């Protein structure tokens, strides 16, 4: 079994697809090719006359582009510029060498090689582009006779039509095309641990294009970190560690009351709520510096503090409260009513307790073994 597993890994057998992925990719490719073909076929100035010249309405490499566009839409090789730019630039390379050499036997190798270089320089590397270059060389007399126009119609036109349908289809089904990596944490100063610069530095050591963006890798790694943390420490939720001391201010309160609360309870921030207990903002002690005594709380409070749900795992707060922009998180319910507050100290305390519990469990497990 181990030998078989090693063999499958060596030959690169891919992971089994899910049923939804199969249907999504298959239907998308079918309708995408159909849409592109029908538009070109029934284009009044194009369809009949193009067929009369013996030129194809759809080129074979578009089928390969559809595989990338609908099966792996997150790939850098499947983005709009890669498809349209890669196919068109490659076609131009094939046409150029065929015009210069005239013999497909010699033009073919130079067409594909120059297409790879041109796509790389134009930052639109697209594997089907190599097939586009080759098609312009070995496509027959009608393709060669079409000359430079073949790069526009059907190559660029087919590619653009396929991408247009892909944008509509993938946006409706997946909601993220052209692909953009999802931000894992709130923006702010540099986070603890690795950074995007670290990822890009490591990727630069690979002298090849990896079929995944650095932004996607960043999201993936941070999700792995979160999964590992939860496996080691369990899931601790915000409602379990938040403070519920009931100390709050109103927007209309004077600063004298705020100063009294800060001094009497030795705290650095106070939630600001309305008469019904809905969160309005956060007043920090350092914001009272150089503020006149006649000012009101609502005039100096932070109206966009960090907010968390009661059932949110505290590991979601780690990159936010450790980033330097926020020092407190306010816990609210679905209607915006204040439930409590979590400070950096509360978070560190919870993490420390989890660390101690982990060490005890490992120690007892070692003795039992």
Helix axes 157-173, 19-41, angle to 10 degrees: 140
Burial of 210 (0-12, 13-18, 19+ CB in 10 A): exposed
The model's pTM is: 0.59
Residue whose C-alpha is closest to residue 100's, from 110, 91, 90: 110
Per-residue pLDDT tens for 312-328? 888 788 778 877 788 89
Q: Is 111 helix (H, G, I), strand (E, B) or coil?
A: helix
115 — pLDDT class (breaks 50, 70, 90) = very high
47 pLDDT more than 60: no
339 pLDDT more than 90: yes
132 — pLDDT class (breaks 50, 70, 90) = very high
The backbone torsions φ and ψ at residue 254, rounded to the nearest 5 degrees and listed phi first, read -80, 165
Per-residue pLDDT tens for 205-247? 766 556 666 676 777 777 676 666 666 555 788 998 898 888 8
The backbone torsions φ and ψ at residue 13, rounded to the nearest 5 degrees and listed phi first, read -65, 130
> By percentage, how much of the chain surpasses pLDDT 70?
75
Distance CA 17, CA 217 (A): 21
15 pLDDT more than 50: yes
Distance CA 108, CA 119 (A): 16
Per-residue pLDDT tens for 95-106? 999 999 999 999
| Chain centroid offset of residue 125 CA | 20
Q: Is 45 helix (H, G, I), strand (E, B) or coil?
A: coil
66 pLDDT more than 90: yes
Contact 77, 36 (CB under 8 A): no
137 pLDDT more than 80: yes
Distance CA 144, CA 150 (A): 8
pLDDT for residue 190? 41
Mean pLDDT of 285-290: 81
Contact 162, 65 (CB under 8 A): yes
265 pLDDT more than 50: yes
353 pLDDT more than 50: yes
């Amino acid at each position: 079994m181990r030998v078989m597993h090693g063999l499958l890994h060596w030959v690169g057998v891919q992971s089994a697809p899910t049923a939804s992925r199969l249907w999504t990719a298959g239907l998308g490719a079918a309708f995408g090719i159909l849409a592109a073909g029908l538009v070109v076929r029934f284009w009044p100035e194009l369809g009949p006359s193009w067929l009369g010249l013996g030129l194809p309405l759809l080129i074979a490499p578009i089928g390969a582009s559809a595989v990338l566009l609908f099966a792996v839409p997150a790939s850098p090789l499947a983005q709009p510029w890669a498809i349209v730019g890669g196919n068109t630039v490659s076609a131009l390379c094939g046409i150029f060498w065929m015009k210069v050499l005239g013999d497909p036997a010699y033009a073919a190798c130079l067409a594909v090689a120059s297409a790879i270089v041109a796509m790389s320089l134009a930052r639109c590397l697209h594997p089907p582009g190599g097939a586009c270059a080759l098609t312009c060389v070995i496509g027959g007399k009608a393709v060669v006779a079409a000359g430079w126009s073949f790069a526009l119609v059907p190559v660029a036109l087919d590619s653009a039509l396929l991408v247009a349908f892909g944008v509509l289809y993938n946006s409706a089904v997946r909601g993220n095309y052209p692909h953009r990596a999802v931000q894992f944490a709130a923006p702010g100063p540099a986070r603890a641990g690795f950074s995007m610069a670290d990822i890009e530095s490591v990727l630069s050591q690979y002298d090849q294009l990896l079929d995944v963006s650095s932004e996607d890798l960043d999201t993936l790694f941070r999700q792995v970190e979160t999964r590992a943390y939860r496996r080691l420490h369990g899931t601790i939720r915000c409602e379990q560690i938040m403070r519920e001391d009931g100390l709050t201010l109103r927007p209309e309160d004077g600063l004298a009351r705020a100063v009294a609360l800060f001094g009497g309870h030795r705290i650095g921030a106070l939630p600001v709520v309305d008469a019904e207990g809905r969160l309005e903002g956060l007043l920090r002690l350092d914001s009272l510096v150089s503020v006149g005594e006649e000012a009101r709380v609502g005039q100096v409070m932070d109206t966009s503090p960090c907010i968390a749900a009661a059932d949110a795992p505290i590991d979601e707060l780690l990159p936010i409260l450790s980033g330097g922009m926020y020092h407190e998180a306010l816990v609210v319910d679905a209607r915006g009513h204040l439930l409590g507050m979590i400070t950096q100290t509360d978070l560190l305390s919870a993490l420390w307790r989890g660390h101690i519990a982990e060490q005890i469990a490992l120690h007892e497990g070692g003795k039992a073994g």
